[in-house]
Chain A
Amino acid sequence: MVAGGESGFRINHVNESRRAFDEMHAEGGVRPAYAGIEAWLKAHGLEALAAKRAEAEALFRRVGITFAVYGEGGDPERLIPFDVIPRILARQEWDRLSRGLTQRVKALNMFMADVYSKREILRAGLIPESLVLQNEAFRPEMQGFVPPGGVYTHISGIDLVRTGPDDFYVLEDNCRTPSGVSYMLENREAMLRLFPQLCAGHRLMPVGHYPEELLETLKEAAPPNCQGEPCVAILTPGHYNSAYYEHCFLADEMGVEVVEGFDLFVEDAVVYMRTTAGPRRVDVLYRRLDDDYLDPLVFRPDSMLGVPGIFAAYRAGNITLANAPGAGIADDKAIYPFVPDMIRFYLDEAPLLQNVPTYLCERDEDRAYVLEHMQELVVKLARGSGGYGMLIGPHSTAEQRDEFARRIKARPADYIAQPTLALSTVPTLAGSGIAPRHVDLRPYILTGKDVRIVPGGLTRVALREGSLVVNSSQGGGTKDTWVLDDGPAPSQSQTQSQSQSQRMGG
């Protein structure tokens, strides 16, 4: 391998990706945000990049940043592959997204406040009533109760994809327990360690304050009966959960306890932790446990992970659950096509972020279209999460399409379909060299008294050539996401004098 030569970063175009918008190489040249990356790759070459990747992997393994996969054989604790080439957004691109995300999450919260009380949007006929009220994600137990501040989804992850310089689409909303934010933070840490000079040469908007923003958001959600400084904790299903590392990481960063169901008990509708000093009252619980398992007295009676009586404590105003039970109604895939209507209905604004056109197989005309055009469409389960149970038309065999056609006819309400988008690509260190790989973006939106978003989010990348599936359970990896602030990049000497004055000032 030639170190430092041009050959080190030649893009191996593949048919699939030629049509896609490449975020680094577009319009025949390198887009300005990527100029620094281009220069680094030219100067250091592929071998240096591969060495950085090995270093990154050792780092992640050592710190134990893993996600747990039990019951599949092999190593139960796996690393999500980390690609060392960052994904870069310019400030003005991000600002546009940020406004759109804020608008969207506001509308989603208003939608929930509405469907759990007056149901005005249903009465206005904008969304079919059955789609909401018959929905498994709709929690009748939440009717007639307004959580503190009217916030249902305090922490949301909105998955975005891109098809062109100015074309972003919302792929899906995650209003329940979106995960992955620890990777956003650890990826940045890794980049700062591996590429200190490269990072210093860019005006990176920081992400490291996310845990503080999260803690502020959770404190702002304190229930009416909270006295004094709110006691915040994270509820985890336990260390067999795939996101357990993240639960601990966030708790550690915020300086709060990470608790399991057994650590909590309810007495007179007040929730306490069991501590070595006796019971301690909990005011806000960032729960990373699904609704079903939260309270065996209200939801699944066989849940061993939850806390009996916690829902009654919630309704009594003695604890806040974040996100609220029943928040899943807002991110249901069958509700998704109506989000632009929600924005117009509740905010009287035009949606700033577009939806991907979506066909609901439940509707006769949509279903007919889907069954006719399966080869061009992505067919997904309307409920459930992740990359399981998905048909990617252009990559499917006739047998697979027949199988999905059978499933759609049997349970039409379970399926939706969308056109396959030519997802944008970012250069990625693949087996033999650098090649374009499809990416998406999950920014994390925090809603307390205000909406807060740290710039960027988690970029997920489909590591397999031509693959459009970025889920970590399906061979996806992650990249650090850089939002570059306006203005020229600081020179080396400026950065040094800045950090020196910080040292002296501290």
Chain B
Amino acid sequence: MLSRTADSLYWMGRYVERAGNLARGMQVALRMAGLASSLGGDVDEWRTLLVAAGAEPGFLAKHSDVTPEAVIRWLALDQDNPSSIANCIEAARGNGRAVRTALTVDMWEALNDTWREMRAQAATAADPERLPQFLEWVRARTLLFNGAAADTMLRNDGWRFTHLGVMLERADNTARLLDAKHETITGEGSEGAVAYAQWQALLRSVSALRSYQWIYHTRLKPRLVADMLILRPELPRSLLACHSRVEQVLDRIAEANGGRRGEPHRLAGEIHARLRYGRIEDILAGGLHAFLTQCINRNIDLGREITAFYLHG
């Protein structure tokens, strides 16, 4: 496969996933903000989300106050935020269009229709009355696109690089979401109704609230929430599940391309091994925030190595 094609597919996968993750994060923040007064806590959901999305520096360069309206607009629509939902959709579609022949018709139509509808509703998407519907739409479109890819792509390098992008982005998102709430897991805020609602929200954002009950059969406990999001292989959005797929996919790519392996394969294997054989007690003892920061940084390193090895051939 052309390196440029692989590069575009990888970024298309990342951007679609990022748009969906942002919508998930915003849905949770909306919910928490709605509960804030009844919980009586000092809930600063929107700032937390800005930090989790890595969008705080850009936001503060343009805004002096963190108001819900400003954050929503920034995350959902702002042209100046390269990772706003609107820009993610634009970038995903731009990457897809640049390599159209590598996409199936179903994928292209899912992507192109999303882009067209996004343009049509950009003016009103952040209206308070419209926002929940818009976020749900983004989530659904992401699911549709991922489903189209999973159901229609030939299992060749095209699929592998698309999937690789999705999985790396997803791992990054889960680590960031959990990190943004680490204080409610291990810190001072890990007691009481507010903390409980935060754990719920966290699980909900990765579609795992019900799954938690199926795995642990007990009320929410911060240690188990962290365990689930980091170490459970059953949860498709856990760090372990994502990195297990990343290692597998990189392995398949190497097999399909003459067995050539390098730093991305070593690093992916190392990250996967630490997660696979890690214990939640040790992670918490060493500090959750430190652990997650390291995860996020290694994920960035891995992305860089993949780019150097495959995408800029």
Contact = CB atoms under 8 A, between A and B. Distances in A.
B98 A259 contact: no
A273 interface: yes
Contacts of B112: 62, 64
A290 to B, nearest CB: 21
Contacts of B253: 276
A269 B161 CA distance: 31
A239 interface: yes
Contacts of A260: 4
Contacts of B105: 63
A248 B100 contact: yes
A238 B100 CA distance: 12
Contacts, number: 58
Contacts of A63: 105, 109
Nearest to B313: A274
Given A62-B109, A62-B112, A62-B113, A276 B97 contact: no
Contacts of A263: 2-4
Contacts of A262: 4
Size class of the A contact interface (CB-based, 8 Å): 20 to 34
Interface in A250-300: 251-252, 257-260, 262-263, 273-279
Contacts of A245: 100
B139 to A, nearest CB: 22
Contacts of A278: 257-258, 260, 313
B2 A274 contact: yes
B219 to A, nearest CB: 48
Contact of A275 (B98, B101, B113, B313): B313
A365 B227 CA distance: 91
A132 B59 CA distance: 61
B6 interface: yes
Task: Identify whether the interface residues of B are mostly helix, strand, loop, or mixed.
Answer: helix
B313 A239 contact: no
B1 interface: yes
A277 B109 contact: no
A3 B265 CA distance: 67
Contacts of B1: 275-277
A239 B97 contact: yes
Interface string B119-161: 0000000000000000000000000000000000000010001
B108 interface: yes
Nearest to B94: A239
A318 B2 CA distance: 20
A88 B258 CA distance: 52
Nearest to B1: A276
Contacts of A251: 101
B196 interface: no
Contacts of A64: 97, 100, 108, 112
Counting chain B CB atoms within 10 Å of each CB, which of A252, A258, A259 scores highest? Answer: A258
Nearest to A234: B101
A277 B258 contact: yes
A257 B100 CA distance: 11
Given A239-B98, A252-B101, A276 B108 contact: no
Interface residues of B, number: 25
Nearest to B100: A248
Contact of B6 (A238, A252, A273, A276): A276
B255 to A, nearest CB: 11
B2 A259 contact: yes
Contact of A273 (B2, B109, B113, B256): B2
A259 B3 CA distance: 10
A276 B255 CA distance: 12
Interface in B53-111: 94, 97-98, 100-101, 105, 108-109
Counting chain A CB atoms within 10 Å of each CB, which of B2, B100, B109, B258 scores highest? Answer: B2
Contacts of B161: 276
Contact of A274 (B4, B257, B260): B4
Contacts of B256: 277
Interface string A49-68: 00000000000001110000
B306 to A, nearest CB: 10
Contacts of A275: 1-3, 313
B3 A274 contact: yes
A84 to B, nearest CB: 22
A257 B112 CA distance: 22
Contacts of B3: 263, 274-276
A248 B8 CA distance: 15
Nearest to B312: A274
Interface string B3-46: 11110000000000000000000000000000000000000000
A276 B257 contact: yes
Given A62-B109, A62-B112, A263-B4, A276 B100 contact: no
Contacts of B6: 276
B256 to A, nearest CB: 8
Contacts of A274: 2-4, 313
Nearest to A250: B101
Contact of B310 (A252, A257, A276): A276
Contact of B157 (A257, A258, A273, A276): A276
A114 B263 CA distance: 56
A262 B6 CA distance: 14
A238 B94 CA distance: 12
Contacts of B310: 276
A277 B257 contact: yes
A347 to B, nearest CB: 39
A259 B6 CA distance: 12
Contacts of B258: 277-278
List 4 tightest A-B contacts by C-beta distance, closest first: A277-B257, A274-B313, A252-B101, A274-B3
24 contacts: A62-B113, A63-B109, A64-B100, A64-B108, A64-B112, A248-B100, A248-B101, A251-B101, A252-B101, A257-B2, A258-B101, A259-B2, A262-B4, A263-B2, A263-B3, A263-B4, A274-B313, A275-B3, A276-B3, A276-B313, A277-B1, A277-B256, A277-B257, A278-B260
Interface of B: 1-6, 94, 97-98, 100-101, 105, 108-109, 112-113, 157, 161, 253, 256-258, 260, 310, 313
Interface of A: 62-64, 238-239, 245, 248, 251-252, 257-260, 262-263, 273-279
Given A263-B3, A278-B258, 13 more contacts: A62-B109, A63-B105, A64-B97, A252-B100, A257-B5, A260-B4, A263-B4, A274-B4, A274-B313, A275-B313, A276-B161, A276-B253, A276-B313
